């Protein structure tokens, strides 16, 4: 937040606009009859927005702020339109938070790559870099690597030989990429390590023998990989991160893991090798999955869960070892009742039926 309580400090964020209410509505796919020519200069929360700002309401617990806001326009669900103050324009959509994301990006667009290679970058002659791509200070691009149109490679990032980076990707500072093929619009945040050896070895009476890791990491279009996350390359197969997958910071993905499209993995989770995760799965913070599991489409794995067996499509699991969420909560309630002071427990003699 700036001193005014509004987001978008101009020292860090490139601002665009102003835009008319009508233009904002068009971005949201709706029409407004009221004040379509009103100019909006930025975005702000309900409590700090002024007449030249657009705000939003997505969580009903903040509905009371709506009645007091000074915003020029508010993105909100149709159910809340009647609570808007007089003079405020309603931008009514079914998914207000999605609308807010689009409008925020309208006023604060993602940085546009400055085409060219920084003089301090080290580029192998056989590397292919599109003229519209940006390669930052101290970056190293290995032999035969390919950098697609409109992509940016951040400072001190290492792109190993043969790596392919698609179009309009954003690879932030100090990332290492090896044995990897990236689709288009992939975002990798600072410090991520992609494509290193998987944790593979054979055990014998003489100790450990490393198993060559001969696979790759394939990352689909629109995927995002968080800061300091590590993704091992496959052993005999590929590690696959599907299209639109979002992986948070500090996540570990083992070799041969396959994550289906539009799944989410949250901070400090760990997924062991050869586990297959379906589409639209949500894995919460600090969850741990053992290897060679199958997690069905749209399953939900709770925070700190220890998953040791397959999870069915659409199932929600919690606990360690993880189990169906309803069963988990029944057990919690039962234990709490037993632990209450003064609770009477009926003890059964285990030998009474012998």
Catalytic residues, by residue number, are: 255
Picking from 44, 56, 46, the residue whose alpha carbon sits closest to that of residue 17 is 44
User: What's the token pair of residue 300?
Assistant: 């939900």
d(CA 2, CA 8): 7
User: What's the token pair of residue 45?
Assistant: 């929360």
Picking from 49, 44, 37, 29, the residue whose alpha carbon sits closest to that of residue 99 is 29
d(CA 123, CA 139): 8
d(CA 178, CA 72): 49
d(CA 127, CA 125): 6
d(CA 241, CA 215): 13
d(CA 215, CA 273): 12
- Cβ contacts of residue 85 below 8 Å, gap of 6+? 66, 67, 68, 69, 70
Which residues are registered as beta bridge partners of 231? Answer: 194, 253
Residue 188's SS3 state is strand
Q: Are 100 and 76 in contact (CB under 8 A)?
A: no
Distances (CA, A) of 68 to 47, 83, 146, 230: 8, 9, 53, 46
């Amino acid at each position: 937040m700036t001193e005014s309580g509004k987001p978008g400090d101009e020292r860090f964020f490139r601002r665009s606009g102003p835009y008319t209410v009508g233009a904002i509505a068009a971005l949201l796919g709706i029409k407004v009859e009221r004040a379509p020519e009103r100019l909006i200069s930025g975005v702000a929360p309900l409590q700090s927005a002024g007449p030249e700002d657009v705000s939003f309401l997505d969580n009903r617990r903040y509905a009371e702020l709506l009645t007091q806001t000074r915003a020029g326009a508010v993105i909100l669900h149709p159910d809340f339109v009647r609570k808007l103050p007089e003079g405020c324009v309603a931008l009514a959509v079914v998914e207000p938070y999605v609308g807010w994301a689009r409008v925020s990006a309208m006023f604060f667009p993602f940085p546009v790559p400055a085409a060219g290679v920084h003089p301090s970058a080290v580029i192998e002659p056989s590397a292919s870099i599109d003229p519209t791509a940006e390669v930052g200070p101290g970056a190293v691009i290995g032999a035969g690597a390919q950098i697609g149109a409109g992509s940016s490679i951040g400072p001190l990032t290492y792109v190993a030989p043969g790596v392919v980076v698609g179009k309009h990707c954003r690879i932030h500072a100090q990332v290492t990429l090896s044995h990897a093929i990236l689709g288009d619009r992939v975002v990798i945040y600072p410090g991520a390590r992609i494509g290193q050896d998987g944790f593979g070895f054979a055990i014998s009476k003489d100790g450990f023998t490393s198993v060559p890791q001969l696979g790759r990491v394939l990352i689909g279009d629109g995927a995002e990989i968080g800061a300091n996350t590590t993704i091992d390359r496959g052993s005999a197969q590929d590690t696959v991160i599907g299209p639109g997958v979002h992986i948070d910071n500090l996540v570990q993905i083992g070799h041969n893991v396959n994550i289906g499209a539009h799944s989410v993995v949250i901070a400090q989770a760990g997924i062991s090798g050869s586990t297959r995760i379906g589409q639209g799965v949500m894995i919460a913070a600090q969850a741990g999955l053992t290897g060679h599991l199958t997690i069905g489409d749209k399953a939900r794995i709770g925070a700190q869960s220890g998953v040791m067996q397959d999870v069915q499509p659409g199932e929600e699991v919690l606990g360690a070892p993880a189990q169906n969420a309803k069963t988990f909560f029944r057990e919690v309630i039962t234990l709490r009742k037993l632990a209450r002071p003064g609770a009477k427990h009926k003890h059964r003699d285990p030998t009474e039926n012998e």
